[in-house]
Amino acid sequence: MSDVPMAALASSARPEIRRIGLDDLRQSLAEGWADFLAIPTQLVFLCILYPVIGIVAAQVAQGDNLLPLAFPLFAGFALVGPVLATGLYELSKRREQGLPVSWLNAFDVLRNPAVFSVAILGVVLFALLGAWLGSARAIYALTIGGVAPSDLGAFISHVQSSPQFLQLLLIGNAVGFVFALVVLTLGVVSFPLMLDRNTDPLTAVQTSIRAVRANPGTMLVWGFIVATVLALGCLPLFVGLAVAMPVLGHATWHLYRRVVVPV
């Protein structure tokens, strides 16, 4: 990683940006894994994930057929991941500073002076999640359409046997990619920056955009890594997300440290 700030992208009034490479991504992931091993938080994430899964299952069982939104909903975790991981950034920061740390310190973020700014940008991400779910419902209605079976196996068979399945897949993935790219651009360093420096949301978002513009290829690879890790985490009944999400959260903090020049 170069230690020379990009003068063209920086000024005394705003955070300076570095160029990074693939090795920085590897090191960020390694440090994120080390943080997770030192401060395991998988039980906390299971307590968050499984009530959500249970609510979806209960609604399906009661006839409120949400199966067409099941995949978009869990894929949507990536859209709000940056705000859900704010407590993890706090843990990584404390460990980086050599302070005593336990999973309870994740709640220290609520006393951070930037918590209001974090909430504002968090609302934006949840609004994007809502827009993605609305788009996914519309795409399903326009391609597959009709009343979806309430049984998971029958639903999967129904979708895969539809002549419009490929159309659903292509359009859904294309639209999902756009939403993911927007969130990556807005949030790759904005939340850690706000928590670290009490930066306002606008400056944080502008810094995140500049970081992506300075490192487009590397950031696209990072987005692909995040999507792949989350997808793999969904496979064993979503249990893997309890490891995938904390590791990615910690890794995001270390990526922020590599991208934004310290003051």
- 208, two tokens: 């995140």
Query: Phi and psi dihedrals of 41, rounded to 5?
Result: -125, 20
**What is the predicted pLDDT for the residue at 39?**
86
Cα 232 versus chain centre, distance: 14
CA–CA separation, 75 vs 230, rounded Å?
Answer: 8
**What is the predicted pLDDT for the residue at 263?**
84
Answer yes or no: are the C-beta atoms of 148 and 68 closer than 8 Å: yes
Mean pLDDT of 14-24: 95
Which of 135, 130, 149, 165 lies closest to 65 in space, CA to CA? 149
Q: Per residue in 205-227, pLDDT tens? A: 999 999 999 999 999 999 999 99
Highest mean pLDDT among 16-30, 45-59, 221-235, 239-253: 16-30
Which of 96, 103, 115 lies closest to 28 in space, CA to CA? 96
Within 10 angstroms of residue 213's Cβ, the number of other Cβ atoms is 12
R_g (Cα) of the chain, nearest Å: 19
Answer yes or no: are the C-beta atoms of 221 and 255 closer than 8 Å: no
Question: What are the b/e assignments for 246-262, b being 16+ CB within 10 Å?
Answer: bbbbbbbbbbbbbbbee
Answer yes or no: are the C-beta atoms of 125 and 187 closer than 8 Å: yes
Which of 26, 10, 28, 13 lies closest to 214 in space, CA to CA? 10
pLDDT confidence tier of residue 11, bands split at 50, 70 and 90: very low
Amino acid letter at 175?
Answer: V
Whether residue 4 is predicted with pLDDT greater than 70 in this model: the reply is no
Q: For residues 160 and 8, which has the higher predicted lDDT (pLDDT)?
A: 160
Highest mean pLDDT among 5-19, 37-51, 91-105: 91-105
Within 10 angstroms of residue 23's Cβ, the number of other Cβ atoms is 11
CA–CA separation, 98 vs 27, rounded Å?
Answer: 19
pLDDT confidence tier of residue 51, bands split at 50, 70 and 90: low
Give the CA count within 13 Å in the CB-facing half-sphere of 249: 30
Q: Per residue in 153-166, pLDDT tens? A: 777 787 888 888 89
Q: Per residue in 96-148, pLDDT tens? A: 999 988 888 888 999 999 999 999 999 999 999 999 999 998 998 888 877 66
CA–CA separation, 28 vs 59, rounded Å?
Answer: 39
Which of 162, 259, 150 lies closest to 210 in space, CA to CA? 259
